Amino acid sequence: MKQGTHVKAELILVLVTILAGFGWIFSKEALAGLPPLFFMGVRFIIAGFVLFLAGQKYFKGLDWQDVKQASLVGVVMGITMLFWVTGLDQGSSLGVGAFITSLGVVLVPVVARFMFGARPPLSIWLALPIAVVGLGFLALNNGLSFEFAHVYFLGTAVCMAFQLNLLSRFSMRMHALVLTAIQLSMAGCLLLFLSLLTETLPHSISIEVAGWLLASTLIATSLRFLLQTYGMSLTPVSHAAVIMNLEPVWTAIFAILWFSESMGLGQVVGCLLIFIAMLVSRWPQIKAIFKPSRSS
């Protein structure tokens, strides 16, 4: 693959992480006027339909077994998003929440150990204690008190690790766009069903809130996944995995600029340690990126 293509792909994936960071802002604004589960259900169903329209040709000749497996992953994704949107709705620091959620990539091999008996690489065992210390700094930033929203974000990370393990184990022969559309649609249906059971729906929605809902749906979800699918098709997975770690960094920056959020010293140290843990867990991929340049 040409060097120019790699650069193009990596720039696209950086843009994807920026859109993901904006997604936290859009979602927080939308939650000011919408119940959390209803918001996520509507958002994902519409986004799944948009992706279906964008990739109709890839939906032909689908295997039913693959569809069932993708739907199961979609249900797990719905549970993951239930934790995430609850934490987002109740939390006061988007940046901290984003870094805790990003622990999902560190926990993937650990969850694989319990699910499938797989042995995590040494980089994961080195990253875990760093991440735990980072969580400790976040939890104890204000003495012994902490936000319960952090527990929801940690639940998001664990469920995300479970979801990614299922994706890696299922040998689904379908285009990434189709897989994403099915996951989003199933997650949206689950969340909307739970919303109808547990939430009181608003009688009306302001134009401003509707705008944030559309931005979350079309920009932070549909456009983001379209670009992510395209970008990941042009570059090795190892490169993409490292770049995607930028999402919590952008989220923290946008939260500071948009909501005037501020972090205490303990929170800054905690987020930094978690980011270091993410990089340590990705060390084999990072080495793979720089290895060609040394040999050339």
Q: Which two tokens stand for residue 20?
A: 């993901």
Average pLDDT over residues 60-74: 91
Average pLDDT over residues 132-153: 80
- SS3 (DSSP) at 130: helix
Is 296 within the bounds of a domain? no
pLDDT value, residue 296: 44
Residue 219 lies in a domain: yes
* Separation of alpha carbons 41 and 131, rounded Å: 31
Residue 145 φ/ψ, nearest 5 degrees: -95, 150
For residues 127-150, average pLDDT: 81
* CA 225 – CA 105 distance, rounded (Å): 18
Give the pLDDT of residue 238: 67
Q: Which tens digits make up the pLDDT trace of 31-44? A: 999 999 999 999 99
Separation between Cα atoms, residue 177 and residue 225, nearest integer Å: 8
Given a cut of 50, whether residue 151 has pLDDT beyond it is yes
Residue from 8, 40, 54 nearest 222 by CA: 54
Confidence of residue 295 (pLDDT cuts 50, 70, 90): very low
- Domain contains 15: yes
For residues 194 and 37, what is the distance between their CA atoms, to the nearest angstrom?
7
How does residue 141 score in pLDDT terms, banded at 50, 70 and 90? low
- 257 vs 196: CA distance, rounded Å: 35
Section 95-106 average pLDDT? 93
- Specify the DSSP element, H or E, that contains 124: helix 122-139
Q: Which pLDDT tens digit goes with each residue over 194-218? A: 999 999 998 899 999 999 999 999 9
In the structure, what pLDDT confidence band is assigned to residue 234 with cuts at 50, 70 and 90?
Answer: confident
| Average pLDDT of every residue of the chain | 89
Q: How confident is the model at residue 294 (pLDDT cuts 50, 70, 90)?
A: very low
CA gap 152, 168 in Å, rounded: 24
Range of the domain at 57: 3-290
pLDDT band at 130 (very low <50, low <70, confident <90, very high): very high
User: Global pTM?
Assistant: 0.90
Query: What's the token pair of residue 272?
Result: 């930094």
Asked whether the predicted pLDDT for residue 171 surpasses 70, the reply is no
Q: Is the pLDDT of residue 73 over 90?
A: yes
**How many structural domains is the chain composed of?**
1
Structural domain includes residue 188:
yes
Return the HEC string of 43-106. HHHHHHHHHHHHCHHHHCCCCHHHHHHHHHHHHHHHHHHHHHHHHHHHCCCHHHHHHHHCCHHH
Q: What is the DSSP string of 220-282?
A: IIIIHHHHHHHHHTSS-HHHHHHHGGGHHHHHHHHHHHHH-----HHHHHHHHHHHHHHHHHT
114-128, 225-239, 263-277: which range is least confident on average? 225-239
Length of the chain: 296
Average confidence (pLDDT) over 87-93: 93
In a domain, 218, yes or no: yes
